[in-house]
Chain A
Amino acid sequence: MTRLPAAALALALLAGSASACASDAGGHGDQELTVLAAASLTDVFEELAEDFEAEHDATVTLSFGSSTELAAQAADGAPGDVLATADEVSMELAASATTHRAPLATNRLVMVTRPGNPDGITTLDDLDGVAWVRCADEVPCGRVATAVLAGARITTAPVSLEEDVRATLDKVVSGEVDAGLVYATDAVAAGGDVTVVELPEAADHLTTYVVATLAQAEHPDLAEAWLDQLLSPRGRDALTRAGFGTP
């Protein structure tokens, strides 16, 4: 090999990688499944990806981000086999690129406070007079929060409208504010860093997560298999443990 000129070596490598690609298409070896998913699905999808890789002899690449952003990317033809969004509105943005859709899970709004709830916040009315945050109106968790607050006729203003639900949670976890409105799943993820206050009002404003296979999928069969796994009892169990509800 060392006697080969560099250019020939490069050509050989190129040829090698090309044949590797070809064998991918044949359905064995290291197939890659690319999943675009809402950030709140991080823990569940990472757990399920490990099982999936072992079972299907494939590599799962997970790309997490804001639902609206990922949906816009998918509609734009970004490489991906599956898209999972935190609500139906965002999935509509990618409507032109989805081939098979299914409701995945539900999420509900809860209130989180500092550990031990030192301010004694037990209802939305108690937000009056404390520093609290919610998501901005532009993002899904903000739309849910606005609806819940309007339903309960709460007019007190938050100190900040956060850019996403994790930023909202972070403000409470870091002690910068006394309370925040986040999804139940975020509260589960925060563990002992927050105290959860359930909101009966939120039952009327559940968000539905949607999962879909994409038209640009390189491995449509694998994409379908990923959906099957999510909707199987094992997938359902992982979602439930993370705080999601059944649609």
Chain B
Amino acid sequence: MSTRPAPLGRAPALLVVPAALAVALLVIPLATLVLSTDWADLPRQLTAPAARTALALSLVTSTAAMLVCLALGVPLAWLLARVEFRGRGALRALVTVPLVLPPVVAGVALRSAFGRSGVVGEPLLEWSAFAFPFTPYGVVLAHVFVSLPFVVIAVEGALRSADPAYDAAAATLGASRWTTFWRVTMPLALPGIAAGSVLGWARSLGEFGATITFNGNYPGRTQTMPTLIYLTRQSDQDSAMALSLLMLLVSVAVLLALRDHWWRSA
């Protein structure tokens, strides 16, 4: 590497200095979180029943949300990437709205649709005696709402960068469109699908605003890690720090899982 010539010259300070500031801005708060946590007390904090229950619920609901996102998001991404139809651009813009929506707004919107007195929720409750709010299903629903756009965008990007000529070749060899999708398109887009899943999963794991607005907070049912951290902060800062550190560790683990995808391309 070091022997390679640098024809473009030295990196200008005008770019290096702001870049270094960006690194400092992102890294310093995380470093201080790690440094100011009471490590000796950490095992006790992390094995507390409330923390274990919340972490387990977070992992289960995030994973369930990821599976739903894959089942619904991959077909939608395929539709957006491979099928020409009127209003495709508008549809793509529409499904990415939750990406930029403040999470608490997402919670309010979900409630107006799926709440116990919501437009869809009320008939559902009367018909089946089931309602999403205050249940783990409601948590998964909130997670899917905020994570699905991540999955769709990541997978669509992967599908677009995969050469459609392979699809065409499969078709000329007599493969149906479903066979082509399943045997050719999907395997080619697999890295993008994997990256999209992990991103969506991580987004679910950190989801807080929509979840607490739509589902409230009850240990074992709707109290996820971010909700527990938010509440713990009101009475016990040290415990909140320890729980935050745990979330940081989980996030880093996700990054490590992604390293093949991102770091190799660097």
Chain A residues at the B interface, C-beta cutoff of 8 Å: 66, 68-69, 72, 131, 133, 136, 138-139, 157-163, 167, 171, 174-177
Contacts and interface: CB of A to CB of B under 8 A. Distances in A.
Interface in B114-157: 115-117, 133-134
A160 B117 contact: no
B142 to A, nearest CB: 14
A162 B117 CA distance: 19
Contact of A159 (B216, B230, B235): B216
Nearest to B134: A159
B232 interface: yes
Contact of B217 (A69, A72, A160, A175): A160
A160 B232 contact: no
A139 to B, nearest CB: 5
Counting chain B CB atoms within 10 Å of each CB, the highest count among A72, A133, A136, A162 belongs to: A136
B215 A163 contact: no
A139 B215 contact: no
Nearest to A168: B216
A163 B117 contact: no
A136 B115 contact: no
A6 to B, nearest CB: 22
B218 A158 contact: yes
A36 to B, nearest CB: 16
15 contacts: A68-B234, A72-B237, A131-B116, A138-B232, A159-B133, A160-B134, A161-B216, A161-B219, A161-B223, A174-B111, A174-B117, A175-B115, A175-B116, A176-B117, A177-B116
Counting chain A CB atoms within 10 Å of each CB, the highest count among B215, B231, B237 belongs to: B231
Given A174-B111, A176-B117, A160 B215 contact: yes
Given A138-B232, A159-B218, A160-B218, A175 B212 contact: no
B32 to A, nearest CB: 15
Nearest to B222: A160
Contacts of A167: 216
B141 to A, nearest CB: 14
B232 A133 contact: no
B234 A160 contact: no
Interface in B167-225: 212, 215-219, 222-223
A181 B134 CA distance: 17
Nearest to B230: A163
A139 B234 contact: yes
A131 B117 contact: no
Given A175-B116, A176-B116, A138 B216 contact: no
Interface in B233-254: 234-237
Contacts of B115: 174-176
A170 to B, nearest CB: 9
A138 B117 contact: no
A69 B216 contact: no
A144 to B, nearest CB: 14
B111 A138 contact: no
